[in-house]
């Protein structure tokens, strides 16, 4: 009875898995707007209406892919960080940067889904927020570790953040505990700088201009590391 129930559940889970797999493949080749429930159903030998037994709408399928994407990126970032010596904070930051860029280049459409223009009419449900910060959590840990090890020497060039940002810093501190406001602010600069760089490359802003993208990326991330206060 329990076994039989799980039997049905199992085939259902298997079908859901197959749907998302096919959908992810379609996403990778055609992009988000080219993802169609009917095409997925066709490839599964199903009639289109049957898909709705498993995903009540196209947006729900998209949500599943988004969550998968955040988790895949987060996992890649976690692995990259884990492969570094714990006290090599600059190395950990650079490893995270490279992991983000590599994953984005390998999965451009998924990256666009996560960090590109939001799909109109689509509101990210609450289930996405936890996977969405997996990569940021790794980054926050690096910043916090470096700070607590006394290896984060703020460059003298940055102004100190206005007092009003203290509230927001408090929220961000859940990812990088016990770090002062100015470090939080610089951490945001570096983090947005990383994704600005990756997005520019991936979304075509470097076309006809930058050819040595890996080298430029490496150099720019080193610059941001210095701005963040990481040692050389």
Partner DNA sequence: GCTAATAGAGAGCGGTGCTCTTGACGAAGG
Partner DNA sequence: CCTTCGTCAAGAGCACCGCTCTCTATTAGC
Q: Which parts of this chain interact with its own copies (CB under 8 A)?
A: 30-34, 109, 112-113, 115-121, 124, 129, 155, 157-159, 161-162, 164-165, 167-168, 171-172, 185-186, 188-189, 192-197, 199-200, 203-205, 208-212, 215-216, 218-220, 222-224, 226-227, 232
Identify which of residues 56 and 177 has a Cβ nearer to DNA in the complex.
56
Identify which of residues 27 and 197 has a Cβ nearer to DNA in the complex.
27
Nearest CA-CA partner of 200 in 96, 120, 116: 116
Identify which of residues 31 and 180 has a Cβ nearer to its own copies in the complex.
31
Residues that bind DNA (CB under 7 A): 1, 4-5, 7-8, 12, 15, 35-39, 42, 45-50, 52-54, 56-59
CB of 129 to DNA, least distance (A): 22
Nearest CA-CA partner of 134 in 192, 186, 179, 175: 175
CB of 162 to its own copies, least distance (A): 6
**Cβ atoms < 10 Å from Cβ of 205:** 12
- Give the side-chain half-sphere CA count within 13 A for 131: 19
CB of 33 to DNA, least distance (A): 9
| Residue 46 contact partner, candidates DNA, its own copies, none, CB within 5 to 8 A by sort of partner | DNA
Q: Which two tokens stand for residue 89?
A: 């904070």
Identify which of residues 9 and 30 has a Cβ nearer to its own copies in the complex.
30
Nearest CA-CA partner of 131 in 65, 71, 59, 77: 71
CB of 46 to DNA, least distance (A): 4
Q: Dihedral of the CA atoms 55, 56, 60, 62 (nearest 10)?
A: 60
| Residue 172 contact partner, candidates its own copies, DNA, none, CB within 5 to 8 A by sort of partner | its own copies
CA distances in angstroms from 63 to 9, 90, 121, 210, listed in the order given: 21, 34, 13, 34
CB of 132 to DNA, least distance (A): 22
Q: Dihedral of the CA atoms 132, 138, 143, 144 (nearest 10)?
A: 100
The Cα 123–Cα 119 span in angstroms is 8
Task: Name every residue whose Cβ is closer than 8 Å to that of residue 136 and which is 6 or more positions away in sequence.
Answer: 175, 191
Identify which of residues 56 and 196 has a Cβ nearer to DNA in the complex.
56
Identify which of residues 14 and 215 has a Cβ nearer to its own copies in the complex.
215
């Amino acid at each position: 009875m329990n076994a039989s129930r799980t039997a049905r559940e199992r085939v259902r889970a298997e079908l859901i898995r197959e749907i998302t797999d096919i959908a992810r493949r379609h996403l990778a080749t055609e992009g988000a707007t080219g993802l169609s429930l009917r095409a997925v159903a066709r490839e599964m030998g199903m009639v289109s209406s049957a898909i709705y037994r498993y995903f009540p709408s196209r947006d729900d399928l998209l949500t599943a892919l988004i969550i998968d994407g955040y988790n895949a990126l987060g996992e890649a970032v976690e692995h990259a960080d884990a492969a570094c010596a714990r006290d090599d904070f600059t190395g950990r930051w650079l490893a995270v940067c490279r992991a983000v860029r590599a994953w984005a280049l390998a999965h451009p459409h998924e990256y666009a889904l996560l960090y590109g223009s939001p799909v109109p009419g689509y509101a990210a449900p609450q289930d996405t927020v936890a996977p969405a910060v997996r990569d940021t959590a790794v980054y926050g840990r690096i910043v916090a570790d470096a700070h607590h090890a006394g290896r984060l020497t703020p460059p003298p060039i940055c102004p100190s953040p206005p007092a009003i940002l203290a509230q927001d810093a408090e929220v961000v501190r859940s990812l990088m505990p016990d770090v002062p406001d100015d470090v939080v602010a610089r951490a945001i600069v570096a983090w947005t700088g990383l994704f600005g760089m990756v997005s520019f490359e991936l979304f075509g802003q470097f076309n006809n201009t930058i050819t040595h993208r890996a080298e430029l990326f490496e150099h720019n991330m080193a610059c941001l590391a210095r701005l963040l206060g990481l040692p050389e």
